[in-house]
Amino acid sequence: MKKSILSLCLIGGIFSVLPAVAGPEEDRLAMVKYYSDRFPDVPMQEFANGLYAFDQSAREQWIEMEDFPPYEIAIDDGQVLFETPFANGKSYADCFDNGGIGVKQDYPYFDADAGEVVTLELAINQCREANGEKALAYMIGELAEIAAYMAYTSRGNEFAIQVPLDSPGAVAAYSAGKQFFYTRRGQLNFACSSCHIQSAGLNLRADRLSTTLGQATHWPVYRSKWGEIGTIQKRFAECNSQVWAKPLEAQSVEYRNLEYFLSYISNGLELNGPASRR
Amino acid sequence: MIGKYVFLAMGLAIVAGCGLQPSRDRSASPTVSFAETYAAAEAALAKAAASRNVWSKTEGLLQQSKIANDEGRKEDAIQLANEARMQAELALTQAISQEKDWQENVLF
């Protein structure tokens, strides 16, 4: 009896796996179609501006805020940090393609040798450690400032995240990120998709919910509520907290895979970071 | 084509059914001591943490439980620890069922 229930469960499990075989590009196109149908008046690139793509009054305040962009100091400070040589005489420019200028569209990527997703923030700290410097704290502070400068030099470039289908590791990392995105968590039992897909455009307290499409293009973000510039994974942590789930650690495997998935979905949109949000 | 969806529906129904099997209600057994209750909550929390799904209030409940015990409020302490344990067990159940059920949230 027990055994037959178990095998029924297994068969059920196998069949219910069927719809998930869609690859990254199918996922992205399905997402584009869903939001285009849902927001027929929003031009594609506008999704990179989050809820300001469709919330007119919030958009007006945001455009006003952009007159004196609150992230400008972070870009300047980030540039100074970026250009200051390490104790060994090398600098960040030695660690990145094109001297680190205009490269954000390629992050995160899957490092097949290390078998893991490398975000821009992780790469910055890897660069530091390879040159005998201590890693910086993730999410806010100097690391976010350096990322802000690097994002700034990448503005206008099209997001070009690669998930090579002949790399089982890359596909697995992408799939894990996708699974995390659709997994209900926390005491309130919400998945990312519950809010940003099902309820996109609807009100949640003071905000209208942004679309998953375009959510990764503009980081790091200066958020008025934070009063400082922070990385995308700080936002993941906050969105986890909102559903009464304890956030995971910044740059945990799960958050990096999630960022890989989320970034891929925005492929083809122009980068527009750093950005301001209220 | 239709066959695929019938199988899919069956699969989801069966998976959903598997998630609904009743679990034993451990709170029915009489609580012996604070130490045991607290240890059980800690163990449940460790399992939830291993599943990478801890609810955000659970650790606070455990802390409050400890404080209550230190202050001699035994009943409160035990109640708080039991609540923490229950949350941790539900979080673990959520994580395990979502290992399969996440696909029900995929709309396209």
Nearest residue, CB atoms, B53 vs list A11, A17, A185: A185
Per-residue pLDDT, B26: 46
User: In chain A, what residues touch B13 (CB-CB under 8 Å)?
Assistant: 12
Tell me which of A9, A127, A195, A239 is the catalytic residue.
A239
Q: Which of B7, B58, B106 sits opposite A20 (nearest CB)?
A: B106
Tell if the CB–CB gap between A245 and B100 is shorter than 8 Å.
no
Distance from C-alpha of A217 to C-alpha of A219, rounded to nearest angstrom:
6
pLDDT in tens, A215-265: 999 999 999 999 999 999 999 999 999 999 999 999 999 999 999 999 999
Domains and CATH numbers, chain A: 1-278 (1.10.760.10)
Is residue A127 among the annotated active site residues?
no
Q: Are A255 and A236 in contact (CB under 8 A)?
A: yes
Sequence spans of domains, chain B: 31-100
Per the CB < 8 Å rule, is A12 touching B103? no
Low-confidence ranges of chain A (pLDDT < 50): 1-20
Query: Which residues of B fall within a CB distance of 8 Å from A26?
Result: none
**A179 part of contact set with chain B, CB < 8 Å:** yes
pLDDT of residue A80: 98
B7-59 per-position pLDDT tens digit: 333 333 333 333 333 344 444 445 569 999 999 999 999 999 999 999 999 99
Contacts of B58 in chain A (CB under 8 A): 246
- The phi, psi pair for B59, rounded to 5°, reads -65, -35
Q: How far is CA A251 from CA A171, A242, B55, in A?
A: 19, 19, 20
Q: What is the CA angle B96-B99-B102, rounded to 5? A: 125
Query: What is the DSSP secondary structure assignment for residue B105, as one 8-state letter?
Result: G
Determine if the pTM surpasses 0.95.
Answer: no
**Are the C-beta atoms of A36 and A28 separated by less than 8 Å?**
no
